[in-house]
Amino acid sequence: MPISVLVVDDSAFFRQQIVSMLKGHPELRVAGTASHGKEAVEQALKLKPDVITMDYEMPIMDGISAVREIMARQPTPILMFSSLTTSGARVTLDALDAGAVDYLPKFRESLSANERLKQQLIEKLIAVVKRGGKGQPLSGTTAERTAPVERAPARQPRLSPRPELIMVGTSTGGPVALQKFLTQLPAGFDIPLLLIQHMPAAFTGPFAERLNRQCRIRVVEAQNNMALEPGLALLAPGGQQMMLSSRERVKVLAGDDRLNYKPSVDLSFGSAAKYYGNRVLAIVMTGMGADGREGARMLKKVGAPVWTQGSDSCVIDGMPAAIRKEGMSDADIPLDSMAQVLLKAL
């Protein structure tokens, strides 16, 4: 049966744009629409759609409030539409905390000018439903966690030699995964970290600020020529590439337009293989696609360990699965256990 979609937006024009994007696709069916958050909750309970697209700024009830109530009463994968601004980034991060699984940029142009966005929307809707993805709100939200119960890892991985750098690559579902992982690292954690999350340029600054407030380690958005420091996590800026220029510093640059991702996990991992050899630990977490696979291949050639997030805890298991499929994962670890396993291995 086709995947049923509930479209929520206060703009009749934008609702029609989304309906037009989905109309005629053999795997999708628009089950209904809603013009504000309260109606979205009512329609979610009545229609029980497989997935929901959600606006933020709406009358009567805003999108974040609607996400919280839907996740509490009828847990459903929700994609947020957000403006590519600092304000839009903060709203999106709040929505992810509330249980939304992902986001897409807001647009007001004609459908013909947004073929790439149309393809992204369709791919995300299909992927989260086929994966069984549900929102995974953090502790303190009103919604319950709906992902499958995670099993403990079969064995405790070892790290020898001790890594001098930890790199984490993420995409869809990554903001929540990174938050859960990094907030469990203690003050005094003494290894530098590089974080590569697929995000637009306007989002990474607010995301780094949020993580820095929540974590006991320091988190900042990387800038060109910044130094690696113990217990400092550098987040790759959206729309750019982050590489190592030496064992001590990072290089931030525009990068090649032929690369699909900015930032690219492959590019960052590959530069670490050059400067750190087997003294880097790479961790690939939830995300669509296979970014990180070729970078992991370069790291494995120099003897570096690569860990993956366990399938059951991924919103989308594309990136970790690509590593596993090639036999390059040294440890497959549930998200809730990742920090604990890392600390024990160190």
Catalytic positions, written as ranges: 171, 198, 291
**Helix, strand or coil, per DSSP, at residue 85:** coil
Q: What is the 3-state secondary structure (H, E, C) of 98-162?
A: HCCCEEEECCCCCHHHHHHHHHHHHHHHHHHHHCCCCCCCCCCCCCCCCCCCCCCCCCCCCCCCC
Sheet holding 51-54, edge to edge: 28-34, 3-8, 51-54, 78-82, 102-105
Q: Which residues contact 9 (CB under 8 A, 6 or more apart)?
A: 15, 18, 33, 35, 53, 55, 58, 81
Cα–Cα–Cα angle for 300, 262, 259, nearest 5°?
70
Task: Report the relative pairing of strands 241-244 and 250-253 from DSSP bridges.
Answer: antiparallel
**94 closest CA partner among 72, 125, 66:** 66
What kind and span of H or E run contains 70? Answer: helix 63-73
Rg (CA), the chain: 20
